[in-house]
Amino acid sequence: MVTGTEGETTAEALWERVNRLSWYHAIELEPGRLTPGWFDLREYVHHYGLPERMDGMRALDIGTWDGWWAFEMERRGAEVVALDLDDERDLDWPPRRRPKEFSPEPRGAGFRLAREALGSQVERVNMSIYHATPEELGTFDFIFCGSVLIHLRDQFLALERIAGLCTGTFVSAEEYDWAASLLPFPVSRYRVDRDSDIVFWQPAKKTWKRMLWSAGFDRVEEYGTFTLRPRDRSFKVRHVVLHAHKL
């Protein structure tokens, strides 16, 4: 149950709080009732290849935002740490596209409310993946990162940090450049100035694979590709899912 501001434990109090926030993920906080998120990942989860059971695993969700993947891994039995930044000003912004004003709402507000409503034990850490080290976080049997690296200025540094934290399997699901993937060598397109969400570099599929190997993973396999769409179906994004392993 969730305690409202006046001490009442009612569903109405919970959803009043939900509706005061902006949401990226549609999260089922009660049977059949979702937060008003941009993406409902339930129809796509089979594309990622998570283990059906994760009992005994220590897992990391990178770029957790509202926490859908963190809560899903916990539901499957894992002990989960969720990594993200609370302040939008700390995100990677190209100078010409940096907003003059930022939302006063912490990016972790939805996560914290969902964690409370679900009775979750997921630990959320306010930290950039650039600064994530075993000394700070420990190591993980399983790491997940979806639709995050594409927005980073330094994708390779992020992958190097992930490889340093991982003792088992890393699942990466990121946008890839279809045209660049036709070339016989690994390339990335420069996309900072396109009129959409911030993307610095858009790698080809083979570029993502090569970067994971170069960053320190011993075996990299393509699990599959799929097209991700928001709930309103207003656009689509091609994703490649890679499973990388430390041996």
Does residue 28 form part of some domain? Answer: no
Can you say how many angstroms the Cα of residue 186 is from the centroid of all Cα atoms in its chain?
Answer: 24
Does residue 1 form part of some domain? Answer: no
When divided into structural domains, the chain yields a total of 1
Read off the pTM: 0.94
Does residue 29 form part of some domain? Answer: no
Residue in the structure block whose two tokens are 């997921």: 122
Q: Which two tokens stand for residue 220?
A: 């990299």
pLDDT 10s per residue in the chain (247 long)?
A: 444 444 445 788 999 999 999 999 999 999 999 999 999 999 999 999 999 999 999 999 999 999 999 999 999 999 999 999 999 999 999 999 999 999 888 899 999 999 999 999 999 999 999 999 999 999 999 999 999 999 999 999 999 999 999 999 999 999 999 999 999 999 999 999 987 789 999 999 999 999 999 999 999 999 999 999 999 999 999 999 999 999 8
Does residue 19 form part of some domain? Answer: no
Does residue 20 form part of some domain? Answer: no
* 210-62-154 Cα angle (round to 5): 50
| Range of the structural domain that residue 220 is part of | 42-245
- Of 156, 181, 173, 203, the closest CA to residue 61 belongs to 173
CATH code, domain carrying 110: 3.40.50.150
* 114-119-122 Cα angle (round to 5): 75
Does residue 238 form part of some domain? Answer: yes
Does residue 206 form part of some domain? Answer: yes
Residue in the structure block whose two tokens are 């949401």: 23
* Amino acid occupying residue 106: P
- Of 11, 68, 67, the closest CA to residue 40 belongs to 68
Does residue 36 form part of some domain? Answer: no
Tell me the per-residue pLDDT of 63-86, one tens digit each, with 9 for 90 and over: 999 999 999 999 999 999 999 999
